[in-house]
Every structure is written in structure tokens, then in C-alpha cells.
Structure 1
Amino acid sequence: MPGIDEKDKEILRILRKEGRITLTELGRRVKLSPASVKNRVEKLEKLGAIKGYSAIIDPAFLDEFVQVLFELKLSIDDKNVDVILRRIAKLENVQALYRRSGEKQILIRASFHNTDEVKEFAGMLKKHFGKNLERVEVTLIIDTFKECWVANE
């Protein structure tokens, strides 16, 4: 990527695992002063390399015990779909939303209090996409072994 060097990449790798690390500790690890690290972090934020900072919350503590993946197959996947996707991405229970290659163009990960909410969400998807939505495949997440989420604002 233009504008970043190996030190910047080292900073990014550390921040990806330890987002709450102090600038002093980060500087110690990459052998730079805290002020120098601060300047680099600010540069990385402006470049968009650092997209945000957030806590990874266990949804169960918010009484959201049902974790679900929705895979959507659309008849037509064009720029008009982006408006709908941006609206869906803003919903509080949506953790991730991807446009992807393959038969099913959209992948959504969301959490719910119960299966009735899952049904309501699926209905909302059908309403928003209309006839453009060919199929919705719903997969319940049984167990999570690793996840790293980044908040987009």
C-alpha cells in the first residue's frame, strides 16, 4: 500500500491483536518513541488502514443468544443494491455484511434474542429486496472458535 512502510505494518499487526495497547508500550515494541508512534497511528487512521476501535462483545450479555448467517442470492446484483445494503448494515444486530463472489452474493452475520426475531429479519430482507431476492439461506451458528471484528463507522 502506498504511504506505509514495514514499521507501519508492524504497528498494524500489533493493533489488530491488542487494540487497547498504550502508545508507550507500542513504541517500545516497535522501537519508536511514543510521539513517533502517535504520528504513525494518526497517519494510518487518515489512510483508512485503521478503520476504527471497538470492543468485541459477547452477544449473550445482551441477551442475544441466537447467532445467524444469512446468505442471499439475488437475481440482479448492481449498484442499486448498495442502498439497501447500507441500510441493513446500520442495524444494531448486524455484526457483518459482505458482498461476495459466488452463487450467493450477500453474506450477513447478525445476532438475535430468539428465533422469532430471525424470522422477522428474514421477512424484512424479502421486503427490502423484493423480487430481486431469489433465495435466503439461514444458518445457525452453533459455536465460535475465533472472531475478530472491526467496527465500521
Structure 2
Amino acid sequence: MRGKIDKMDIQLIKLLAKNSRLTYKELAEILRTTRQRISRRMEKLERIGAIKKYTVIPDFDRLGYIYMIIGITIKPGIPMEPVIEKLKMEENVKIIERAVGSHNLVIHMVAPKEMKEIEKRINDLSSKIEGIDKMDITFITDIVKFEIL
């Protein structure tokens, strides 16, 4: 169990991905093991970075926000790290992903639903990032499925 991920670890992560509020006792009952073993496995998974964060999936619409996914293509020769560091500082940028394909970066961003505010946030973001070749914006209307494993 030292640092290696096994079948039970994967099952544990899948259960938590579906319901991160399960207690160690509940997880132990489902996986037919002890609460102590679950505790040790959770500590290991966190220590080795297999579990990075516990989070929720908010309903952006009910919170008064629009959720956007923005594909960004950076011009050749522009270093990515300074771009990523600038994006990390943006409060409205929630996820930053390196990508291979149509874009170098994919970011997930939220903004209040008012169109002028959305336009302002996108313009502010694009003016702060040097070397943008292309930006493709997709407005997410509903998250119908969200599974990790």
C-alpha cells in the first residue's frame, strides 16, 4: 500500500467523486473494510497527490453567474508560464488547463450574467495576456454530467 494506487484506492476515489460527504465509516461499510484502513488510505491518497482537493459543483445560474469555457491559442514563441501565472491571479478564472489540439490553454471562468459585465471581464482578461492568437468562448448553460473517474 506504500504509495501505489490499487483497486480499492480507485473504488474509494470513485465513491468520493460521487459523494464527497461520505464518512470514513460509510466508506468502510461500502468497501467492506475498516474505518482505520479507509483513514490510512485517505491520508496516503492526499499525501501522494492522488486527491488534490475536495470541492462542490455549484449551480452558477442560481448564484447569478454565467459559466464560460475559453480556449486560448498563444502565438508560437510566447512562453506559457508567464501567461499561466497571470491567469492564476485572475479571480474569475476558476480552472486552467494546458491543452494539446485546437488551443494551448483552456480556462473555465465565471462572470455575472449581465452581458456588459461579461464583455468587460473577457476584454480585461485578453488585454492582460500577451501573445493571444485566438480565443474561443463557449457559454455553458447547464452541467448535465460531471464525473471524474
Residues 90 and 18 of structure 1: CA distance in aligned 2, closer, same or farther (over 3 Å):
farther
Q: Secondary structure at the match of 2:124?
A: helix
Contact 2:111 2:121 in 1 (8 A): no
Aligned residue type for 1:70: I
TM-aligned CA deviation for residue 21 of structure 1: 0.3
The answer to whether the 8 A contact 1:8-1:40 is kept is yes
Given the alignment of the two structures, is residue 128 of structure 1 paired with residue 137 of structure 2, yes or no? Answer: no
In the other structure, the counterpart of 2:51 is 50
Q: One-letter code of the match for 1:135?
A: K
The 1:139/1:48 distance shift into structure 2, 3 A limit, reads same
Output the aligned Cα RMSD.
Answer: 2.1
Task: Determine the structure 2 residue equivalent to 1:13.
Answer: 14
Between the two proteins, what is the percent identity of the paired residues? 23
Pairing of 1:7-46 with structure 2 (within 5 A): 7-46=8-47
Deviates more, 1:82-91 or 1:17-26: 82-91
Unpaired runs of at least 5, structure 2? none
Q: 1:93 to 1:62 in 2, by over 3 A?
A: farther
Q: Are 2:86 and 2:129, in contact at CA under 8 Å, matched by a contact in 1?
A: no
* Unmatched segments (≥5 aa) in structure 1: none
Runs of 4+ that moved beyond 6 A: none
Q: Is the 8 A contact 2:20 2:54 kept in 1?
A: yes
TM-score by length of 2: 0.84
Deviation by residue 1:3-42 (Cα, 9 ceiling, x = unmatched) = 1221111111111111110100101111111011101101
TM-score by length of 1: 0.82
Match of 1:95 in 2: 94
Paired residues in the alignment total 145
**Could you tell me how far 1:61 is from its partner in structure 2?**
3.4
